[in-house]
Structure 1
């Protein structure tokens, strides 16, 4: 640990994302020299027993059962929001107005209107030296960060085409029980917002271009699910019987859309939680005038690159992204020792703390996340109008 000034953190929510964020806050200062030292001051959740157990497990110093108490506390500098999307706007705006820095999980909100309100609050807070960031952690995967560097250096030439997929299969069993992720009032959308938001952000970030229009199709394959039990993480099904009452699924199970980017590239996007055999296949491929690159999170330490200057039969070159000069990697293990899912969250903490200490806007900003929200809304609008082209 360093002797830096503390950055006192209060986290709202303690389930899947709460565990990932807790690990990151504890790990970052142990592997990176941070200008501020994170302190896990308090975690908030509505269930006293549940949040107390989480605090003991993840190392939080105290608990609250109302997120408002976190914001009122003088010993907390930053609010980390790990709750369903329907709560993001209220918590984030209140925290920013109270002078707390904010880290908010993606997607930013459940609607463009909420996201606009959050972006406006963030802009006003920035003028007072209060900073905010949205948690698109795949940006911090070293291989994807290397892809961004290559595009910025012009290694691919002019980008012509983008292909982006996010494929999972954890909902493919029609008897898997209802969760908040299948309730539009809580989640905003289904596969589109849950995992589609990641590939939208990644594609826009790596290319450096915003999506300007879409034509989309959304589908719900299983319209009702058992109300019994609660899913553990994203895996098991809980105790479900044939007689269990069923509730309506109000979100999409799969999303497919074509897109055009600001400077001309075209793209195709697919997000589904029904791709049997695909556990977390977050994929991005770019084709340019000088080369191509391809990334798949199921092989997350590898970036595949094709350089048109090579021999025509050379094919893609496989880069193992574990060298010290690769993004983030120099602070971890020897060459060839790969990183995992959790490291993206650690890198997120590093970048956020560095930005706060440096008094600069962390990225992705709420304004960047608002752009993703507008794409999500355009996809839904297009799908609702028989795939009619929808400007973003």
Structure 2
């Protein structure tokens, strides 16, 4: 697992080998990943001991404050220096999408394990290069995983096992939506998430990547075709004064709340994406991802209908799964609630007594657990970079389809 790690105590945690983690990026997602790494070894009995070795960001003062707040032993301002550290065995990438490929390729070349936030990259070509490098590295014992954390909600993990057991029978429909409203205000500034060169795409890559992966994960099969529409409702937004890039000096989103009115910049990504799809089995799917659903904060919902039953999950009720068994007599059949808090449910034997629910942050603890177990067992973790590439190909197909469907000429009355 590399060289001795700073601050280790002899025989700590029964002599478990350390796994030094280096985090690159420290805004919202960096904090979520920090929570997962800080917590996982205290909740699950792991064969390796995660050590928060170093965190990296461009603003030295800000990254040092983040390190102190979340328990990272050291702070770096150059991601290359973090990768070069002997006490870093695993590189966790939580940066904007434009840097995923460069950082991941460098980390794999340096012999590190890699966890990369979704979407895997900003293009299919980048994702293909990352997948090839990950497959080569796997032969050297290096593991790579994409951070689709919604797979790690106990209820969605339970749903996957129920589908795999055949409880739904042949799949017919999947319908999934992911709705937020944080861009409804036209005065919200032009952050990095609204610039194609940094984010790759808008709601499609940010939210759509999650729902495409979750749909494929639950169905157990890939999406093989799409027909799509996308729209940018607000095409110009204010540029924060002194931060025309839309980034703070730390390289994280700058909402410009303290800045006076400024010039406008062009939004170069989608605000919403709506598309239908077909799975390999012939099952039909519908997807909606938007940042303009007024009143919806982080509303992800998915439903699967099969010949023998249906399953539905709502992120706003993430400890619950709705299940309909269509083989039961119609007189008393219908959707019933499964409260996913039993010790026999995925991940939950390490947490609280039945009925005591978990939250969003626990998905990152479960993500860290699964990756550590895979590294210790020398087996490829899931979702793999190849899984991330499959999602990237679906997103690219959506954009291609939307471009073809973008012109509409009303027929004269």
Q: Same fold (TM over 0.5)?
A: yes
Asked if 2 retains the 8 angstrom alpha-carbon contact of 1:231 and 1:238, the reply is no
Aligned residue number for residue 171 of structure 2: 159
Residues 1:150 and 2:162 aligned together:
yes
SS across alignment from 2:275: strand
What's the CA shift for 1:234?
Answer: 9.0
TM-score, length-scaled by structure 1: 0.96
For structure 2, the residue ranges without an aligned partner over 5 or more in a row are 1-11, 408-413
Deviates more, 1:379-388 or 1:171-180: 379-388
Asked if 2 retains the 8 angstrom alpha-carbon contact of 1:177 and 1:240, the reply is no
Aligned residue number for residue 13 of structure 2: 2
Alignment of 1:83-232 (within 5 A): 83-228=95-240
Asked if 1 retains the 8 angstrom alpha-carbon contact of 2:191 and 2:254, the reply is no
SS across alignment from 2:187: coil
| Bigger radius of gyration among the two | 2
What's the CA shift for 1:314?
Answer: 3.0
- Cα offsets for 1:176-227 (capped at 9, x unmatched): 1121100110000000000110000000011111001100000000001111
Residues 1:322 and 2:333 aligned together:
no
Aligned residue number for residue 274 of structure 2: 256
Residues 1:266 and 2:284 aligned together:
yes
Residues 1:331 and 2:350 aligned together:
yes
What's the CA shift for 1:236?
Answer: 7.4
Cα distance in 1 for partners of 2:256, 2:347 equals: 36
Pick from 364, 382, 386: which aligns with 1:363? Answer: 382
Residues 1:288 and 2:300 aligned together:
no
Aligned residue number for residue 372 of structure 1: 391
What's the CA shift for 1:244?
Answer: 2.3
Residues 1:347 and 2:333 aligned together:
no
Aligned residue number for residue 49 of structure 2: 37
Cα distance in 2 for partners of 1:179, 1:294 equals: 34
SS across alignment from 1:341: coil
After superposition, the Cα gap between the structure-2 partners of 1:246 and 1:387, relative to the gap in structure 1 and judged at 3 Å, is closer
After superposition, the Cα gap between the structure-2 partners of 1:380 and 1:37, relative to the gap in structure 1 and judged at 3 Å, is same
What's the CA shift for 1:247?
Answer: 1.1
Residues 1:301 and 2:319 aligned together:
yes
What's the CA shift for 1:26?
Answer: 0.7
Aligned residue number for residue 39 of structure 2: 27
Asked if 1 retains the 8 angstrom alpha-carbon contact of 2:191 and 2:255, the reply is no
SS across alignment from 1:110: coil
Cα distance in 2 for partners of 1:340, 1:42 equals: 26
What's the CA shift for 1:310?
Answer: 2.3
For structure 1, the residue ranges without an aligned partner over 5 or more in a row are none
What's the CA shift for 1:340?
Answer: 0.4
- Cα offsets for 1:23-48 (capped at 9, x unmatched): 10010000100110000111111111
SS across alignment from 1:41: strand
What's the CA shift for 1:228?
Answer: 2.2
What's the CA shift for 1:235?
Answer: 11
